[in-house]
């Protein structure tokens, strides 16, 4: 049931325990082993509406007007409330600062145009009006919002460029992870090597699609997981990487898109945060990168 309904095992067990699941019209325990021909019915209860609370959480706003704002999200912050994270999110912070957010958008994700993983830092667009939200959502779907990420991987690519076009979906063996699954949604990422160090490569990643954990899953699938990524095999060697616990080297550093109302070209950049600069210095020891004001610019990230 967890596999076919895209639920965690605990969520499936809760539904069964609460009587929301039938087998051939009757009730069975969670330990029941289905046989061929069984018809399993699942009734999902109506979600309980939650009122989002504003919280006084500092945010780094790199651009704002009456239609949208762009946030430089720190690592460790969840974007929107969800089970296990009903507070301390970016949405709570936006409400707390009094930001105008579109009322017609998803009630738990007002104004959120796209997301970043909890431990991924960098640029994220938030719409402030219904019209801006619709236009930005359409532009994202049509791949007119260009997102570039700085990412450090373990090991070395065989070539300076790599394109990974593999479908991504929930891992059927672990619902908390994503995986390359033949029946998953199409996902494509282009990578360009900016620098090669003894233990790994610094890459620029270009998202063509925006699947959950896409960059991390694609890199793990080719044997070069993101440095510091505990979920997909890159969590070892933190002493070499100079990274704190639960932090991976992935930063949304560059956004290019047309303003949803004026059409003006938007080119917004975010330098590496301090923790990733320290990690880059650890990888590039003796190269002089630690003294450069903007290592990404020096390495041609924005070319």
Question: What digits encode the pLDDT tens for the residues 65-99?
Answer: 999 999 999 999 999 887 677 788 999 999 999 88
Q: Give me the phi and psi of 7, to 5 degrees please.
A: -120, 165
CA torsion 217-121-211-175 (nearest 10°) is: 60
Distance CA 183, CA 181 (A): 5
pTM for the model stands at 0.84
Q: Which of 72, 117, 229, 275 is catalytic?
A: 117
Distance CA 71, CA 112 (A): 11
Q: Give the homologous superfamily in CATH for domain 61-298.
A: Pseudouridine synthase (3.30.2350.10)
Distance CA 165, CA 143 (A): 15
Task: Delimit the CATH 3.30.2350.10 region(s) of the chain.
Answer: 61-298
- Find the range with the poorest average confidence among 4-8, 148-152, 175-179, 229-233: 4-8
Count of CB atoms situated within 10 Å of the CB of 182: 7
Q: Is 267 in the active site?
A: no
Distance CA 76, CA 83 (A): 16
């Amino acid at each position: 049931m967890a596999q076919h309904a895209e639920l965690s095992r605990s969520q499936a067990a809760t539904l069964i325990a609460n009587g929301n699941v039938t087998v051939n019209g009757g009730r069975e325990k969670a330990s029941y082993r289905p046989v061929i021909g069984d018809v399993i019915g699942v009734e999902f209860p109506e979600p309980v509406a939650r009122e989002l609370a504003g919280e006084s959480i500092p945010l780094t706003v790199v651009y704002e007007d009456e239609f949208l704002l762009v946030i430089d999200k720190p690592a460790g912050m969840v974007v929107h409330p969800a089970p296990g994270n009903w507070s301390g999110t970016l949405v709570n912070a936006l409400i707390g600062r009094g930001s105008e957010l579109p009322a017609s958008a998803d009630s738990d994700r007002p104004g959120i145009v796209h997301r970043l993983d909890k431990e991924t830092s960098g640029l994220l667009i938030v719409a402030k009006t219904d019209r801006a939200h619709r236009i930005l959502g359409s532009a994202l779907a049509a791949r007119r919002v260009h997102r570039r990420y700085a990412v450090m991987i373990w090991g070395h690519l065989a070539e300076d460029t790599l394109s990974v076009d593999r479908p991504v979906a929930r891992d059927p063996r672990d619902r908390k992870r994503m995986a390359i699954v033949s029946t998953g949604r199409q996902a494509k990422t282009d990578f360009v090597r900016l620098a090669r160090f003894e233990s790994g490569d610094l890459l620029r990643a270009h998202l063509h699609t925006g699947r959950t954990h896409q960059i991390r899953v694609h890199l793990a699938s080719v044997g070069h997981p993101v440095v510091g990524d505990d979920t997909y095999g890159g969590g070892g060697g933190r002493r070499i990487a100079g990274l704190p616990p639960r932090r991976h080297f992935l930063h949304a550093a560059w956004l290019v898109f047309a303003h949803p109302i004026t059409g003006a070209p938007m080119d917004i950049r975010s330098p590496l945060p301090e923790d990733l600069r320290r990690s880059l210095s650890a990888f590039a020891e003796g190269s002089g990168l630690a003294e450069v004001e903007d290592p990404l610019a020096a390495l041609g990230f924005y070319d």
